[in-house]
Amino acid sequence: MEMIYRFLELLPFSMFQYDFMKNAFLAAILIAPLFALLGTMAVNNKMAFFSDALGHSAFTGIGLGVLLGLDDPLLAMLAFGIFLGLVITKVKSANMVSSDTVISVFSSAALALGIVILSASGGFAKYSSYLIGDILTVGQGDLLMIAVVLIIAYLLWALLYNQLLLLSVNRSLAASRGVKVMLVENIFVMMVAVAVMVSIRWVGILMINSLLILPAAAARNITSTTRSYHWTATVFGLVSSVVGLGISYTFGTSAGATMVLTAAVLFFLTYLIGKGHK
């Protein structure tokens, strides 16, 4: 880690004179490809609001952690996030209610339950920082955890990519080709849940969904092949994260919100470019 810090100090940017900015920069370049990877498949599967529901469920996870007396609520957040994701997938697969309705119902209920638990225990104000997040608080241990999640996500992606792609085209077609639809979908849901819960302290509940979806949506505007779609989404994620972090340092704005705004600018630019080409 010291070698990386020394390298960053050689770059002509004043923000790298501070260790917390170095950690924030490293976190940004780890979170960006993780979110881009998952965001492309979330967009393909029309699950743009799914990560938002998981983000809202973080409050319930925090509340459960408080009730259990945990010093760090991350484990409770992970457990509840994975549980909620699996429940949403199960209910959605029954095809009794539209996907967006199912996600909206669970998202609203999870957020309300979390607020009720935290307000009853007097801990809401203490954890309200999770709404906005603060990437400047990332430590070296946090960087290691994000790196491990990123590696695991890419390994699972390499193993399941073709099945996930076929699943995004048509569930019935995927099942007819021998794909274990529920198993593959559940694995993907758990990947998203872990990525969201691990990152939410630094990105924020209000921003997490936007940072996951916008780079993938921007890439989809201008790409025509699956390979270029994923690589472009990764590049857009890195650009929006790094540039947004630099802008937030310069103007003293919220890092997460500035990163999201940068990604939104990329989306609108690619929308205009894609529309012009069509």
> Is pLDDT of 196 > 70?
yes
Average pLDDT over residues 206-232: 89
- Which of 60-69, 123-132, 148-157, 217-226 bottoms out in mean pLDDT, i.e. has the lowest? 123-132
Can you read off the two tokens belonging to residue 97? 């209610």
Domain extent listing, the chain = 25-201
pLDDT band at 79 (very low <50, low <70, confident <90, very high): very high
Average pLDDT over residues 138-164: 91
> Is pLDDT of 172 > 80?
yes
Report the share of the chain in percent with pLDDT over 70: 98
> Is pLDDT of 92 > 90?
no
pLDDT band at 177 (very low <50, low <70, confident <90, very high): confident
Report the share of the chain in percent with pLDDT over 90: 41
pTM value surpassing 0.85:
yes
> Is pLDDT of 24 > 70?
yes
d(C-alpha 24, C-alpha 15), whole Å: 10
pLDDT of 121 reads 67
pLDDT of 278 reads 58
pLDDT of 86 reads 92
Mean pLDDT across the chain:
88
pLDDT band at 123 (very low <50, low <70, confident <90, very high): low
Average pLDDT over residues 181-208: 90
> Is pLDDT of 69 > 90?
no
pLDDT of 66 reads 82
pLDDT band at 165 (very low <50, low <70, confident <90, very high): confident
> Is pLDDT of 218 > 90?
yes
Average pLDDT over residues 216-231: 90
> Is pLDDT of 78 > 90?
yes
In total, the chain counts a number of residues equal to 278
> Is pLDDT of 189 > 80?
yes
DSSP 48: T
pLDDT of 90 reads 87
- CATH classification of 25-201, choosing from 3.30.1330.10, 3.60.10.10, 1.10.10.410, 1.10.3470.10? 1.10.3470.10
pLDDT of 167 reads 84
SS (H, E, C) the chain: CHHHHHHHHHCCCHHHHCHHHHHHHHHHHHHHHHHHHHHHHHHHCCCCCHHHHHHHHHHHHHHHHHHCCCCCCHHHHHHHHHHHHHHHHHHHHCCCCCHHHHHHHHHHHHHHHHHHHHHHCCCHHHHHHHHCCCHHHCCHHHHHHHHHHHHHHHHHHHHHHHHHHHHHHCHHHHHHCCCCHHHHHHHHHHHHHHHHHHHHHHHCCCCHHHHHHHHHHHHHHHCCCHHHHHHHHHHHHHHHHHHHHHHHHHHCCCHHHHHHHHHHHHHHHHHHHHHHHC
pLDDT band at 136 (very low <50, low <70, confident <90, very high): confident
> Is pLDDT of 275 > 90?
no
